[in-house]
Structure 1
Amino acid sequence: MSRRRPHTGDVPADAEDADGTSPDVRTGPKDVSRQGRAPEVSCDRGDAPPEATTHPGGVVPSGLDGSPPGRQGQARLRPLPLAVAVGLLLATLLAGVLVGSAGLPVGGVLKALADRIPFVHADSGFGVIDENVLFQLRVPRALMAALVGGMLAVAGAGYQGVFRNPLADPYLLGAAAGAGVGATLVIALVPGDPGYTVPLAAFVGAIGGVALAYVLGSVATGRGNGTATLVLAGVAVSSFLAAVQTLIQQMKSEELQRIYSWILGGVGSADWHQLALVFPYALVSTVVLLAHGRLLDVLSVGDEEAASLGLSAARVRLTVLVAASLATASAVAVSGLIAFVGIVVPHVVRRLAGGSYRIVLPLSLLGGAAFLEVADLVARTVIRPGEVPLGVVTAFVGGPFFVAVLRASRRQVET
């Protein structure tokens, strides 16, 4: 007597072969002519799983946010992290205005600030000198530190999205080296106070360095969308321009102190005119970068996926690189070379708030502004009445940060 398998409703009970082998374990062609028709399973549109496409790294959903299945559209900036970042920035801005070597009373500073608000009158009791110290020195400096920090951080996040590397920085393609050559040339060749010629030369040099790296990368790859070739071109351009800068310094050794003062970075010379010059570039580049957060999320899953969604990876990369380079050049032009802001801040934001660039970009903007505001506060209070170069302060933070990142990466590899 043959033993029959209990009927489960999924496969008819008489679906066994004569040799007792069930069709679901056979390796040969299946004969389903004697099987009952399987019950149809229907699902409405809301229960259907998200469409997926394949790429070398596996299966990813076809949603434009690149999020895991069932989570499309959820990777958005929530009100609480945004409120915390804005509050932190406002607190650091206020601290930057309140603290200084002039010893202005806190109450008087607050009243003087409130007096500048329309329809608000508050008597601070400050004289002309105190008013000038507050509104011609402290306030422009605090605003410039926030502006430079925000631009460097959001530019660094943009570079990390283009190169798919969380440790890419805004100086990767030669912006720092180009700016250094431009500023060094002006300092070495223009006698006396060059005024705004140094920021202008640094801006042109930064844009020129990035453009040269992109052209070399484009020639090597044929289209300019090969990220590895682009990085190599940036390294080559940076090395060449650094050699040019060193040669100029050796030829004009009497100007070394002024050159190094600019290279080490700082916002001590900030004024309202500089703010007015750099703000339009900062605004345009920041808006473009924030608008491309969703596209960078798509780009992060691969060029093939982007192409399958009708997205031109080369066009997105070029747009983001231009905007990030514009922000970097603007920041370097007015502050010199301030390292690590474009690496540390986006990395910390990514660890705390998630990896979607719709979150990383705006929080990096706010976090970078607050970070550099604190760094500038430290720079001008540690050896009061003197100042520590701002680039030195950020380097003291960036060095241990890289050590921590390397240790964390090593632990992940070992586990």
Structure 2
Amino acid sequence: MGLTGTRLTALALALLLALGVAVGAALALGSAGFDWSLIVALRAPRVGAAVGVGALLALSGLAMQVLLRNPLADPYVLGTAGGASGGGLLALMAGASLWLGAALGALAAGAALLALTRAALAATDDASPRLVLTGAMLASLCGAVATLLLAITPDQQLRGAIFWLVGDLSGAQGGAVCGAAAVAFAALLMARDTAIDRLQLGSEVAALLGEPVRRLRLLLLVGASLAAGLAVASAGAIGFVGLVVPQALRLVGVQRIRDLAWMSAVGGATLLTLADLVARTVVAPLELPVGAVMALLGAPLFIVILARDTR
């Protein structure tokens, strides 16, 4: 039975408080101390990017888990993020805008995914196996392209390319765009909460209850793919946020999409902001890739969640 009433309100307040503390700490702490001009020029845009990207990744993971009816699905399972990685590397080698190249790569991969899964989206039975197989093929192809591009990347650009691929917020662009996109995606999921809750019961059940299954699947697929692609375009491939946050919320009793959507966004924003704070302060003045830090934090956290779930 899901959380309701006082407990749900307490969890919501705790999440909002945690986000406020994380943002405040990320703005105030750093190797240069508390410097207002530094906060405005460097830390605030970076924290904004962490909040926007973290929220997008968590929402993308939630949408993928609903679409595939698999709690272990993450934002990268269907290959759009791989398209963003390949497009970003191409742009980096060509001296063009990395953000634009990654965004175009994500759009191209998303268009290919839609073209290949039209029949699966229209079916009333469980489309998860076909979607996963198609996404895995696309992800494998994009991964191979990214590997080949890395192999021919000039040495002077190689370190930057690798840093970006494993997740890097130091030069993140489009933080405001990511934040606005996260708010819009969360609002869209909340607006269709009843239909999506029914879809979680199974495609056939949702169809019998009169829900437009194909349209709902398309909404989740396009939304999750665009969210993942935009996040990767801004900060590289950062794992575990989209996997851990929605799953943790479900395990503490949050079940309805109306609550899961905005709480996942807040939880993802908080988690990535804290991970980025660790990445830039733990060995200051050197900096670690936030994707690696997120994996170090996320893997033990996910193991704890799984252990709690098996009790």
Q: Which amino acid aligns with 1:249?
A: L
| Matched residue, 1:42 | none
Q: Secondary structure at the match of 2:24?
A: helix
Separation in 1, partners of 2:187, 2:121: 30
Gaps spanning 5+ residues in structure 1: where? 1-66, 105-129
Counterpart contact for 1:75–1:358, Cα < 8 Å: no
Q: Secondary structure at the match of 1:383?
A: coil
In structure 2, which of residues 234, 245, 248 is the aligned counterpart of residue 334 of structure 1?
234
1:81-111 Cα shifts (integer Å, max 9, x gaps): 211111111111111111011112xxxxxxx
Larger Rg: 1
Q: Which amino acid aligns with 1:211?
A: A
What is the 5 A alignment of 1:35-50?
none
**Superposed CA RMSD:** 2.4
Identify, as 1 or 2, the structure richer in helix.
Answer: 2
Counterpart contact for 2:51–2:179, Cα < 8 Å: no
1:162-200 Cα shifts (integer Å, max 9, x gaps): 11111111111112211110011111222xxx4xx1111
Q: Which amino acid aligns with 1:383?
A: V
Give the TM-score normalised by the residue count of structure 1: 0.69
In structure 2, which of residues 122, 125, 143 is the aligned counterpart of residue 223 of structure 1?
122
Counterpart contact for 1:281–1:326, Cα < 8 Å: no
In structure 2, which of residues 214, 229, 254 is the aligned counterpart of residue 354 of structure 1?
254
Q: Secondary structure at the match of 1:310?
A: coil
The alpha-carbon distance between structure 1 residues 406 and 281, as it changes in their structure 2 partners (threshold 3 A), is: closer
Percent identity reads 35
| Matched residue, 1:365 | 265
Q: CA deviation at 1:404?
A: 4.2
| Matched residue, 2:108 | 208
In structure 2, which of residues 197, 208, 214 is the aligned counterpart of residue 308 of structure 1?
208
Q: Which amino acid aligns with 2:207?
A: A
| Matched residue, 1:235 | 136
| Matched residue, 1:180 | 85
What is the 5 A alignment of 1:15-414?
78-104=8-34, 130-190=35-95, 194=96, 197-218=97-118, 221=120, 223=122, 226-254=127-155, 255-270=157-172, 274-404=174-304, 411=310
The alpha-carbon distance between structure 1 residues 248 and 311, as it changes in their structure 2 partners (threshold 3 A), is: same
Q: Secondary structure at the match of 1:353?
A: coil
Counterpart contact for 2:59–2:186, Cα < 8 Å: yes
Q: Which has the higher contact order (CA 8 A, sep 6+)?
A: 2
Q: Secondary structure at the match of 1:321?
A: helix
Separation in 2, partners of 1:100, 1:405: 31
Separation in 2, partners of 1:259, 1:145: 19
Counterpart contact for 2:278–2:293, Cα < 8 Å: yes
Aligned length: 308
Q: CA deviation at 1:207?
A: 2.5
Give the TM-score normalised by the residue count of structure 2: 0.90
Gaps spanning 5+ residues in structure 2: where? none
Separation in 1, partners of 2:177, 2:261: 23
